Amino acid sequence: MPELPEVEVVRRGLAQWVAGRTVAAVEVRHPRAVRRHLEGTDHFVAALTGRTLTAAHRRGKYLWLPVAEPDGTPSGRALVAHLGMSGQLLVEKKSQPDETHLRARFTFTDGGRELRFVDQRTFGGLAVEDAVGEDLPARLAHIAIDPLDPSFDEDAFSAALRRRRTEVKRALLDQTLIGGVGNIYADESLWRAKLHGARPTDALTRPQVSALLQGVRDVLDEALAQGGTSFDSLYVDVNGQSGYFSRFLAVYGQADRPCPRCGTAIRRESFMNRSSYSCPTCQPRPRTRRQSAEPRTRRQSAEPRTRRTRA
């Protein structure tokens, strides 16, 4: 599934090619593309036709474009998009043949390139939702800001993380705690911070949390610079170009290859019906709480003594 860097790359493309343009027509080719728009397909089309998409924003893995009325005043609504597992927002010339999995098409009054929503697995979707001005649509309010946002509060995050009684990787994937981080970048960040994903969050020290956050920021910045991570043709920007960060992954998808830091073979472990990748040397699996609580006594390590009997 696309994560923060991939979605941010798409946002930047929408800001360049779509923001400020007025919608001439909307064609919905598959009802699942707008299933999140509860008022139905016809209402979705009417809500956008003749309106201007004024900007492009992102929160976590969601995109939204505020909508203005024909006279330029804010409509109080926004076009919200989630790419799901295979969704693409592509800016194409009208002469470009339709994609096999084209689900929706937006044409504009300037006659230029059209915006297409392509989704092979139909897990993504579009909707028009209430949003005041540039403010966040209400349905996205539960998603936390991401660590690249200037307003991200590191102290508040550290306190919230250490209050949780869960594993650190599960916490990184919790979009109500930190936005935009998925399986790939969680593994890469944990490797940089030298933490195993099963480490209990309430046992983390403040320096460890700081190292983890720095790892998250570094890997997201580097992925953005490479256009995101593309493993196949589904992960592309608005111009259909793939990202190249997959060439720089240290652990994710690198099972049995040498760790870039110490040379130990990278291990793969099952995690929430997915996979986790880590270095056994750099990221040792933490002892369980029960193991940590048991005192290491001489009696525990010695063989049981036989009881002497009197003759």
By annotation, the residues acting in catalysis are 2-3, 61, 274
DSSP one-letter string for 124-145: -EEEEEE--TTSPPGGGTTSPP
DSSP-derived secondary structure for 250-283:
SSTT-TTSBPTTT-PBPEEEEETTEEEEE-TTTS
Report d(CA 46, CA 238) in Å as an integer: 24
Q: Looking at the chain, how many residues does it have?
A: 311
Query: In terms of Cα–Cα distance, which of 120, 123, 89 is closest to 106?
Result: 89
* Rounded Cα distance, 14 and 44, in Å: 19
Main-chain dihedrals φ then ψ at residue 277, nearest 5 degrees: -125, 135
Which two three-digit tokens encode residue 264?
């130990």
